[in-house]
Amino acid sequence: MNRLEELSRQNRENYERYLKRMTESIRNSTKGFLPIMARKGKRILDVGCGSGVLLYALSAENPEAELTGLDLNAEALNGLREAGAPFTLIHGDFLAINEGKYDTVVFSSILHEISSYCPEESRRFTGGPIEDALRKCREIMPAGGTVLIRDGVGTEEEQQNVPAVISFKKPGDSEWLFRFQKDFRGFDRTDVCCEITDLGDGRYQVGRSFLKEFLCTYTWGPESYAREICERFGVLTERGWIQALTNNGFSVETVTKSKEEYEKFLSDRVVITNTDATPYEYPYMTVILKAEKR
């Protein structure tokens, strides 16, 4: 059993809440995907379909489409089957599939998971497993096929680890910062620096890539904590995503970045500034890319 399946089983009750929360969040990706959905070819594969909310949105938008959902998590697929979902459902690891032909392949919030749960320790939390997935994607589509990706995005400033200062509006919430420092799996083998400097008055200085990973976990709340500390969201920068697609024979057509969801949630809970106390601009958290197989 893969580490991710194990985590989902151990936290079965939390996993249901997590799926529900994910369903709310995906409304944003649905908004991002539908207008850029490819209109050529009927066969669409939603990799890591989870609760299937994107599949339902796609079928309402395009009744002619032949929709397939693939997920590593059997429970998510069982839920869909019990509800009589009119899609082909495949249980398995995307990297291990070896058949099927699809005109469009959608990866909504899954490629960072493929990177974070890579069984080869030395490649975990890197762009390598993402490139493996893109190579696999290339194998299962004809020339002219489309790939759509929604995932986390890192920034150049984060990579240079420029520091920022965070304080919490809710008393006691700074505990989450220290808990995350202890628990996040990505520190020992990535460039994410885990240092926290206590500046007094409830203000803490941290590097921006630390902040990015912490904010992603903090936003998703306690029920997702056990998963989120195992996942690195900002694995690739925008340039990195484009490079990974180009390296694997895709031409990038559209790139959209967003941060609204995080800004809305976090502005009630934290104050973040630059080290000179000037207002901090939230970094882009999510990127949507559309690319065509050359």
Contact residues toward ligand SAM (CB under 6 A) are 4, 22, 26, 29, 47-50, 54, 70-73, 76, 93-95, 108-110, 113-114
- Using CB positions, name the residue nearest to ligand SAM: 48
CB of residue 7 to ligand SAM, shortest distance in Å: 10
Question: How many Å apart are CA 172 and CA 168, to the nearest integer?
Answer: 8
Question: How many Å apart are CA 93 and CA 96, to the nearest integer?
Answer: 5
CB of residue 171 to ligand SAM, shortest distance in Å: 31
> Do residues 230 and 3 make contact, with C-beta atoms less than 8 angstroms apart?
yes
> Do residues 284 and 259 make contact, with C-beta atoms less than 8 angstroms apart?
yes
Q: Smaller CB distance to ligand SAM: residue 230 or 272? A: 230
Nearest 5°: the CA angle 256, 23, 78 is: 130
Q: Smaller CB distance to ligand SAM: residue 95 or 199? A: 95
Question: How many Å apart are CA 5 and CA 153, to the nearest integer?
Answer: 24
Q: Smaller CB distance to ligand SAM: residue 96 or 277? A: 96
What residue ranges in the chain does DSSP mark as E strands?
A: 43-47, 66-71, 88-91, 104-108, 146-152, 163-168, 197-200, 203-207, 250-258, 270-274, 286-293
Q: Smaller CB distance to ligand SAM: residue 121 or 276? A: 121
CB of residue 12 to ligand SAM, shortest distance in Å: 13
CB of residue 71 to ligand SAM, shortest distance in Å: 5
> Do residues 80 and 89 make contact, with C-beta atoms less than 8 angstroms apart?
yes
- Token pair 């709340």 is found at 221
CB of residue 203 to ligand SAM, shortest distance in Å: 32
Q: Smaller CB distance to ligand SAM: residue 27 or 170? A: 27
CB of residue 243 to ligand SAM, shortest distance in Å: 22
> Do residues 145 and 39 make contact, with C-beta atoms less than 8 angstroms apart?
no
Q: Smaller CB distance to ligand SAM: residue 73 or 237? A: 73
